[in-house]
Amino acid sequence: MKNWMKNALLCATAGLLFGAGVMVGAKKYEKPKSIIHVVTLYWKDGATDAQKKAALDGVEKMASEIPGLDRVWLKSVKVQGDAGGKALQSAFVMEFKDEAAFKAYDNHPAHRAWEKVYTPARGESRTHDITN
């Protein structure tokens, strides 16, 4: 085989291997249009474990009743920061299908009922609503 053919074959092979490596190694990710509602909080002094559990269980109950509230995260693994000089103690997240679902959630009867359980136990909280 002639030198120029060997070089061409070598270049073509290297290009295929490099290209395949880039394609195989490329990580895919999504930028969903859903809205993530992140809540970090500390509980009121004197809030009982039963009140805290009822508040978090209520998030799950809302998800079963409110259209477009599709996912919830309820178990705090790590909470950083403070609210009003006090260390944050808990966090939860709700994911809404889209902006319309997020807006409808505010006045939904299940949300209003949950607030009656959540508010007496909640000290101060911070919310972050995030989308793409």
Q: How much is the pTM?
A: 0.75
Domain map (residue ranges) of the chain: 1-29, 35-130
Which helix (H) or strand (E) is 130 found in, with range?
strand 122-130
Three-state secondary structure of 6-59: HHHHHHHHHHHHHHHHHHHHCCCCCCCCCEEEEEEEEECCCCCHHHHHHHHHHH
> pLDDT digit string (tens) for 58-106?
999 999 999 999 999 999 888 887 766 777 789 999 999 999 999 999 9
Please check whether residue 113 is in contact with residue 65, taking contact to mean a CB–CB distance below 8 angstroms. Answer: no
Taking each helix axis as running N to C, give the angle between helix 49-65 and helix 109-118, from 0 to 180 degrees, rounded to the nearest 10. 170
> pLDDT digit string (tens) for 8-56?
555 555 555 556 555 567 889 999 999 999 999 999 999 999 999 999 9
- Round to whole Å and give the CA distance between 47 and 64: 25
- Round to whole Å and give the CA distance between 55 and 37: 16
Answer left, alpha or beta for residue 46, where phi above 0 means left and psi between -120 and 50 means alpha: left
The CATH number of domain 35-130, selected from 3.40.640.10, 3.20.20.70, 3.30.70.100, 2.60.40.10: 3.30.70.100
